[in-house]
Amino acid sequence: MLDHCGVVLVGPMFGGNVGAAARAVKNTGLGGLSLVDPSFEDHAEARMFSHGAEEVLERAIAYERLIDVIAEAERVVGFTIRERHRRRMTPLREFAETWVDDALIAKSEGRVPSRTLLLFGRERDGLTNEELDLCTDIVWIAVHPQHPSYNLSQAVLLAGYEILMARLGVDPRAPRARPRRTRRPSPSPLAQAQELADLQEHLREAFLSIGYAYPHTVDPMVRSYAEIFSRAQLHRREANMLRGLAHQILWAAGRIEELESD
């Protein structure tokens, strides 16, 4: 569904922004990237910043005039922070939610969602008034007043993210990536009381060997560690890991003594 919503960069000046915008398009599932009168020359930088989305960058068509790319679009959405008193300016999140609702309604009725293009202006001064006059919607992105300007590719990513989240919020069947799961450690029973006692004694020796504790302070210190282990409910594998650390400390301390005696 989001492939009916494409991105247009008007007059982009830096290859890195174009590449990062291509990556944002792929990250959020938007429907492709187009360029109008691009002036950047560093295509290698654009490719580098598009990492993983090189095909989006390669398929991006460059047009000389804005009207040529938006001619067949049903909704043209201009992004700007400059207030236009005669036009309604819609917050990005509100636009994203209403666009997704309209697209889902269209799909439920057997219609194709409106072909929509998101317009982003030049890095230095954004979209011109004449370009905004061609837009059916004017959208602004919330920003702190001390620095009310986003990087071009960041603005593309924010727009795509809000539209993606709006879709995921109302469409449970929408494809979504899940956080990667690390491999679970092999099952291990909880450490037994004797194993925990042995661990504490091992730590006591290790702490004394490197001067981390002194004979008159080592007992309270080990007791504090025992309280931590109790709250953590150590498994046998974890207790063995800590004993391995203590063993290595003792080995290193003995090695230092040998070197010093030589």
- Assign residue 33 the CATH number of its domain: 3.40.1280.10
Counted domains in the chain: 2
* pLDDT confidence of residue 153: 97
Which token pair is 262?
């030589």
* pLDDT confidence of residue 215: 93
b vs e for 111-147, b when ≥16 Cβ sit within 10 Å of the residue's Cβ? eebeebbbbbbbbeebbeeebbeebebbbbbeeeeee
63 and 166, same domain (yes or no) = yes
Average pLDDT over residues 211-236: 94
Domain that includes residue 207, residue range: 193-261
158 and 119, same domain (yes or no) = yes
Q: Give domain status of residue 92, yes or no.
A: yes
Average pLDDT over residues 202-213: 93
Q: Give domain status of residue 175, yes or no.
A: no
14 and 141, same domain (yes or no) = yes
pTM summary value? 0.74
- As a whole number of angstroms, the distance between CA 15 and CA 33 comes to 14
224 and 111, same domain (yes or no) = no
Within 128-210, strands assigned E span 137-140
Average pLDDT over residues 221-250: 94
pLDDT at residue 188 tops 90 = no
pLDDT at residue 86 tops 90 = no
pLDDT at residue 209 tops 70 = yes
Q: Give domain status of residue 177, yes or no.
A: no
75 and 112, same domain (yes or no) = yes
Task: Choose from 14-23, 143-152, 165-174 the range with maximum mean pLDDT.
Answer: 14-23
Average pLDDT over residues 41-58: 96
Q: Closest Cα partner for 80 from 41, 26, 31, 134?
A: 134
Q: Mean pLDDT across the chain, nearest whole number?
A: 92
107 and 13, same domain (yes or no) = yes
* pLDDT confidence of residue 181: 74
145 and 207, same domain (yes or no) = no
In this structure, what CATH number is given to the domain that contains residue 217? Answer: 1.10.8
